[in-house]
Copies of this chain bind each other. A is one copy, B any other.
Amino acid sequence: MSVRVGIWGFGAMGRGIAKMLHDKRNVTVVGVCDNAEELLGKKLEEFGRFSDVTITDDIERVFAAEPDVLFHATDSFTADSYPKVKKALENGIDVISTAEEMAYPYANEPALAESMDQLAKENGARVLGTGINPGFVMDLLAIALSGAVIDIDRIEVERVNSLSPFGPTVMREQGVGLSLEVFRERQSRGELAGHVGFKESVHMIAKALGYEISRFEQQMEPIVTSVDRKSPYGEAKAGHVAGIDMKAQGYVGDEVFIDMRHPQQIEPEAEGTSTGDYILIKGTPEVNLSIRPEIEGGLGTIATCVNAMPLLLEAEPGLKTMIDLPVPRAFTTAPNIRKN
């Protein structure tokens, strides 16, 4: 199998995907599209051990290089992703998207999901959204654990992570350093992103387990620090906002069946919070899982996307989610598949 790959979006995710793919035998990055001025006209090799592909802002030039698969890493929402995904599918190109909502587009955009499924089938192509979360920790892994359980009463998932490794954009989106007043103001204007993906995770779990979600709710609260905290790109004085605590509940009937929490903040250790991924399946038998520290978000998203590629290429055409594919697995650099 020789796979030709295009990449749309050459930020941290796109670059990480290119780097990971570089180590695979019989995979070639044939085109990269990004419209950031500082990237245009640069060759991939300036970013490491990559090929001499030149970064372009014209996706048609990437399509002209005839990729089999396009990694799409420019958006968070399905509505923004849709025109790009559509173009790729119409060219018969498979798509793997990092967009959070694309992990389960049926949750927020059922009509667009249906349309992508049709387009993919008409063109003999496949489309998948994945990433560490949504796509893996708070949904796929909980689903996998449920496979060892006889009766399920309730699923509780928590991902506690640190924002300290992230840059200025994330600090701004997560309100780090703001006073409580300014946080509330920005929150009311919808300027704080928080986590995108709860609804996707909840609906993916429900679909896999054969439940109907009767109600979905989500809350966003500031994490106010009682001590001064400082990370490379963020700072929160005592009494100010160190991050965002988000919660969501998926109801079946009148009861919460899926309960999620995802607090993100700089320097969580400053007040004794240790990071980790936690899944509790209440039922028979009860399953109580911890991953400590949490699976690192950036690396994990790159890995889930690239590792999904061989499985997606073997799937039937259409819109896929992680529950349609065989269990995830590393697409390794094992000696027998290492480049040369």
Q: State the CA gap A140–B141 with chains docked (Å).
A: 11
Within 8 Å CB of A329, what residues of B? 143-144, 146-147, 208-209, 323
**Chain A 268-301: CB-based contact to B (< 8 A → 1; otherwise 0):** 0000000000000000110111111101100110
A323 B327 Cβ-Cβ under 8 A: yes
Task: Give A132 to B230 CA distance when docked, in angstroms.
Answer: 45
> Does A26 lie at the interface of the complex (its beta carbon under 8 Å from any beta carbon of B)?
no
Q: Is A149 an interface residue (CB 8 A)?
A: yes
Interface string of A196-215 (1 = CB under 8 A from B): 00000000000011111000
What separation, in Å, do the CA atoms of A278 and B299 have in the docked complex?
22
Identify which of B152, B287, B334 contacts A211 (C-beta below 8 A): B334
Please tell me if A150 contacts chain B, counting CB pairs below 8 Å.
Answer: yes
Chain B residue with Cβ nearest A279: B291
- List the B side residues contacting A143 at CB < 8 Å: 327-329
Give A299 to B149 CA distance when docked, in angstroms.
7
User: Could you say which residues of chain B place their CB within 8 Å of the CB of A337?
Assistant: 210
Size of the A side of the interface (Cβ < 8 Å), in residues, is 58
Interface pair B330/A149, CB less than 8 Å apart: yes
What residues of chain A have their CB less than 8 Å away from a CB belonging to chain B?
20, 23, 132, 136-137, 140-141, 143-144, 146-152, 208-212, 252-253, 284-285, 287-293, 295-296, 299-300, 302-304, 306-308, 322-337
A to B CB contacts below 8 Å, 25 in the list: A23-B151, A140-B327, A141-B144, A143-B328, A144-B329, A146-B307, A146-B329, A147-B304, A147-B307, A147-B328, A148-B295, A148-B304, A149-B307, A149-B330, A150-B299, A152-B330, A209-B329, A210-B332, A253-B335, A285-B303, A287-B295, A288-B291, A288-B293, A323-B326, A323-B329
